Amino acid sequence: VAQGWLQIATFIALVTALTKPLGLYMAGVYRNERVFLTPVLGGLEGLTYRVLRADPNREQDWKSYAASTIVFSALFWMALFVILRTQGIHPFNPQGFDSGPWDLSMNTASSFVTNTNWQYYGGETTLSFFSQMAGLTVQNYVSAAVGMSVLVAMIRGIAGRGGDSLGNFWQDTVRGLYYILLPLSVIVALLLVAGGVVQTLAYDVGAKTLEGADQVLALGPVASQVSIKQLGTNGGGFFNVNSAMPFENSNSFTNFVELLSIILIPAALTYTYGRMVGRQRQGWAIFGAMAALYVVFALVIFPAEQHGTPAQHAAGLQTAHVDGSTGGNMEGKEVRNGIAESGLWATTTTVTSNGSVNSALESYTGLGGAVPMFGLASSEVVFGGVGSGLYTMLLYVLLAVFIGGLMVGRTPEYLGKKVEAREIKLASLGALYTPLAILVTTALAVATEHGRVSIFAKDSPQGFSESLYAYMSQANNNGSAFAGYTGFVQPNPPGNKGAFGITFADVLGSLTLLTARFIPIVLALAVAGSLARKKVALGGAGTLRTDSPTFVVLLVGVIVLVGALTFFPALLLGPIVQSVTTDLF
Amino acid sequence: MRRDLVNSAIAVVLFTVLFGLIYPLAFTGVAQVVFPGQADGSKIARDGKVVGSKLIAQDFRRPVLDRNGKPREDADGNPVMAADPRYFQSRPSQTGYTPNVTFFSNLGPNSVDARDTVKANIVTYLAVERRYTPGLTAAKVPVDAATQSGSGVDPHISEANARIQANRIAAVRRIPLERVRELIEDNTEGRFLGVFGEPGVNVLKLNLAIDSETS
């Protein structure tokens, strides 16, 4: 158990140490400076602007930036939908998969374009290699780059000295792709293959087991997709069970590399932020608020899982740690990951909007399963998705500044700019849309016959947890799941025979995914546009300092209040009931 | 707006080619050259034949035969399986150890099904091991032996689990217990940097080692 704490502490220390160097590098990329990769990739960058017929020097105001973001994402959505609908004629389709139902394709397209990667599909049983590469891998890149672009646009608004410009969408997106995501992803993919993650175009490797049975080893171009799935906080697995599958996450080395990749960029972006607004302490203050919540989550989930479940105790299983065995709740967990690394992963993947899993979240203890839900309930601002986490966090910062300003009786200011009614209205809408979407969709899902079809643990608090989790995950663009909840029935023989989408869940999910991604994006850009125009006033003695520990506490309070408490009644019905009872049902 | 449409349409084509074809295909080429063994699934061969992958668990049970020598079937028509006493047993699997169709058990913390599954796994484990490990009780069954893994093909078992099974292997295979324990240690994969993850005993590799010990 002490070993488990050591793993968690070492990991968090390492993330903190890497925040500065990577953050500094990314600041250089987004300030359009020469970076060390410019000699290698500068030519490709210039060529790309010419091919795209985009002028990287065109200054865009918030409306123009938002329009580019939405048109770009809309066309990629269509492209992915078409790819998923035409599997029958794909090259690189060794298993000969067909397309499956339209509503499943719709959900998957929405899921990947919004950087969510919710899996109603089962990777190895429904998708051709072409869909995985040209469809999903591409989205892993571009949806992550779009998130970062929106963030830097917002930062420019906050740092701006008058004027309307938030930068250029094309330049930000291309530079994010070429200088940040591509090189990191190649490095991580190489490490993963070295560790054992597969990368091949061959599919069916047959083996005769020691008992003489036939075993089919499903392979594929996995490492190249998994590296960017983690770095881009996407999370969609090549395999149905995601990073629990040894071919996707082979051992404690690959597990470490993947876990670090999940949180690396979101953490480092706080430093990039401090750098770009010219006040490094502001970046660290935000990092501090994020880290505080992250540590609390990790502190809760590990002992909860180590304790084991009422069902296991009722069966007479001894879940204490003994020599040679971790003990704890090992249902749905892999021996090589154990309790600590599984719990840390579950925390990390849900506070960032990654959503990949290395263990089955639905099999977590009541309290252990509540931690991922609180991660989702805090609107993915604890590190959050690449870009999306921090731009949502900045909306919360403005709310905290406003509330703090009211408390001390001053005009609220952030970094020398007056925060006024317009910004607060927009920020509130941005912060409240997601919780609203979750509660309405969950209500629909549990109150209607069509919605309840998706539930695996019928007529129990667990079934409610599944439904709540599904819409929390999709609305926060996370993608992790209490995986019993389904829009798609597993297992199925290869070739999609017998696979069917559950239209209600697929369609409602798609709408949730798309609106909860793009409404906050537009609102964040609108706030940025409005802040960009403001003149900077010198702070006086009465200005509320936004880089002090007091402000960090206030910010955490606002997140917990707005984000988490909104869900308290709902959480009560699911995970909290389960964590206080030892009854089985 | 029209300008965005043109830019975006070209971007769809360009980025799909770049990140969807060139990147994964070129990387496949590199991986195949630099790490061919890992890239192809860390296969293990014996006598020139592929017997599995070191990363993927196998079923070390065999069908139970009835009096006529035919495989016995349960109520659902699936063959009844029982542990092959000559081999270390993998963790229970909700998928029947299929590496090409993976899914979670999704058994919840308060689920009656979860209790029944764990109970059944304990009973099975005791039935196989108690003969060789007198005094083994439900309370001493390691957690990994009674619960299903995430992937259904977890290649490892815990050291505690392996040490219990070692008594059976030593007796059935007539190998000194000390030697079996040595082989367990040889096939235990440790933590990364001694810190991250948990040690696990690779069942397939261990069983191959046991086989070559007796042949």
Q: Quick check: A225 and B51 CB within 8 A?
A: no
Q: Quick check: A255 and B204 CB within 8 A?
A: no
Distance from CA of A430 to the nearest CA of B (A): 24
Does the structure show a pLDDT above 70 at A490?
A: no
Contacts of A305 in chain B (CB under 8 A): none
pLDDT band at A340 (very low <50, low <70, confident <90, very high): very high
pLDDT band at B141 (very low <50, low <70, confident <90, very high): very high
Contact A227, A189 (CB under 8 A): yes
Q: Quick check: A335 and B91 CB within 8 A?
A: yes
B97-136: burial string, b at 16+ Cβ within 10 Å, e else: bbbbbbbbbbbbbbbeebbebbbebbebbbebbeebbeeb
Beta bridge partners of B45: B50
Please compute the mean of the pLDDT values over residues A464-470 and round it to a whole number: 89
| Residue from A267, A260, A288, A484 nearest A369 by CA | A484
> Which of B102, B118, B151 lies nearest to residue A311, judging by beta carbons?
B118
How does the average pLDDT of chain A come out, rounded? 89
* The pLDDT value given to residue B214: 85
Contacts of B12 in chain A (CB under 8 A): 75-76, 79
In whole angstroms, what is the distance from residue B101 CA to residue A241 CA?
9
In whole angstroms, what is the distance from residue A367 CA to residue A578 CA?
8
Write the DSSP string, chain B: -HHHHHHHHHHHHHHIIIIIIIHHHHHHHHHHHHSHHHHTT-EEEETTEEEEETTS----EEEPB-TTSPBPB-TTSPBPEEE-TTSPPPPP-TTSS-SSS-------TT-HHHHHHHHHHHHHHHHHHTTTSTT--GGGS-HHHHS--SSS---EE-HHHHHHHHHHHHHHHT--HHHHHHHHHHTEE--BTTTBS--EEEHHHHHHHHHHHH-
Distance from CA of B79 to the nearest CA of A (A): 13
> Which of B1, B84, B204 lies nearest to residue A67, judging by beta carbons?
B1
In whole angstroms, what is the distance from residue A448 CA to residue B98 CA?
35
Tokens of A442: 């969950």
Contact A127, A494 (CB under 8 A): no
Contact A123, A104 (CB under 8 A): no
Is the dihedral angle over the CA atoms B49, A194, A175, A388 positive or is it negative?
A: positive
Beta bridge partners of A204: A218
Contacts of A252 in chain B (CB under 8 A): 189-192, 196-198
In whole angstroms, what is the distance from residue A131 CA to residue A328 CA?
38
A98-138 per-position pLDDT tens digit:
887 888 888 899 999 998 888 877 777 788 889 989 999 99
Which residue intervals of A277-357 are DSSP H helices? 280-307, 310-314, 338-351
Which A residues in the span 382-411 are in contact with B, Cβ-Cβ below 8 Å?
none
pLDDT band at A303 (very low <50, low <70, confident <90, very high): very high
Q: Cis (ω within 30 of 0) for the bond into A491?
A: yes
In whole angstroms, what is the distance from residue B163 CA to residue B36 CA?
34
Does the structure show a pLDDT above 70 at A494?
A: no
Does the structure show a pLDDT above 50 at B38?
A: yes
* The pLDDT value given to residue A310: 94
Please compute the mean of the pLDDT values over residues A196-220 and round it to a whole number: 89
* The pLDDT value given to residue A500: 46
Contact A104, A509 (CB under 8 A): no
pLDDT band at A497 (very low <50, low <70, confident <90, very high): very low
A379-401: burial string, b at 16+ Cβ within 10 Å, e else: bbbbbbbbbbbbbbbbbbbbbbb
Contacts of B53 in chain A (CB under 8 A): 207, 217, 246-247
Please compute the mean of the pLDDT values over residues B167-190 and round it to a whole number: 96
Provide the percentage of residues in chain A whose pLDDT is more than 70.
97
Q: Quick check: B115 and A244 CB within 8 A?
A: no
pLDDT band at A493 (very low <50, low <70, confident <90, very high): very low
Out of A27-36, A159-168, B153-162, least confident range: A159-168
Q: Quick check: B58 and A244 CB within 8 A?
A: no
A517-538 per-position pLDDT tens digit:
999 999 999 999 999 998 888 7
CA–CA distance from A451 to each of A503, A575, B108 (Å)? 9, 20, 20
Contacts of B93 (CB under 8 A, 6+ apart): B57, B59, B148, B149, B152, B153, B154
Which A residues in the span 525-564 are in contact with B, Cβ-Cβ below 8 Å?
none
In whole angstroms, what is the distance from residue A429 CA to residue A562 CA?
12
Cβ contacts from A onto B, under 8 A: 420
Neighbours of A78 (CB within 10 A): 14
- How far does CA A549 lie from the centroid of its chain? 27
Contacts of A512 (CB under 8 A, 6+ apart): A437, A438, A441, A471, A474, A475
In whole angstroms, what is the distance from residue A108 CA to residue A288 CA?
35
Which A residues in the span 157-176 are in contact with B, Cβ-Cβ below 8 Å?
170
| Residue from B174, B144, B194, B90 nearest A213 by CA | B90
Please compute the mean of the pLDDT values over residues B126-137 and round it to a whole number: 95
> Which of A215, A217, A583 lies nearest to residue B110, judging by beta carbons?
A583
Contacts of B2 (CB under 8 A, 6+ apart): none
SS3 A217: strand
| Residue from A232, A259, A241, A246 nearest A341 by CA | A259
Does the structure show a pLDDT above 90 at B86?
A: yes
SS3 A324: coil
Provide the percentage of residues in chain B whose pLDDT is more than 90.
79
* The pLDDT value given to residue A196: 94
Contact B80, B63 (CB under 8 A): yes
Q: Is A214 part of the contact surface with chain B (CB cutoff 8 Å)?
A: no
Q: Quick check: A142 and B42 CB within 8 A?
A: no
Question: Where does residue A502 fall: left (phi above 0), alpha (psi -120 to 50 degrees), or beta otherwise?
Answer: beta
Output the pTM of the full model.
0.93
Contact A223, A193 (CB under 8 A): yes
> Which of B97, B108, B122 lies nearest to residue A362, judging by beta carbons?
B108
How does the average pLDDT of chain B come out, rounded? 93
**Residue holding tokens 């029209």?**
B2
Does the structure show a pLDDT above 60 at A336?
A: yes
Q: Could you give the angle at which helices A62-85 and B2-15 cross, rounded to 10 degrees?
A: 40
Beta bridge partners of A199: A221
Q: Quick check: A335 and B51 CB within 8 A?
A: no
Contacts of A523 (CB under 8 A, 6+ apart): A395, A426, A427, A429, A430, A433
CB burial class (10 A; 0-12, 13-18, 19+) of residue B200? buried
* The pLDDT value given to residue B112: 92
* The pLDDT value given to residue A562: 80
A52-86 per-position pLDDT tens digit:
999 999 999 999 999 999 999 999 999 999 999 99
* The pLDDT value given to residue A487: 61
Q: Could you give the angle at which helices B2-15 and A38-52 cross, rounded to 10 degrees?
A: 130
Tokens of A208: 């005769």
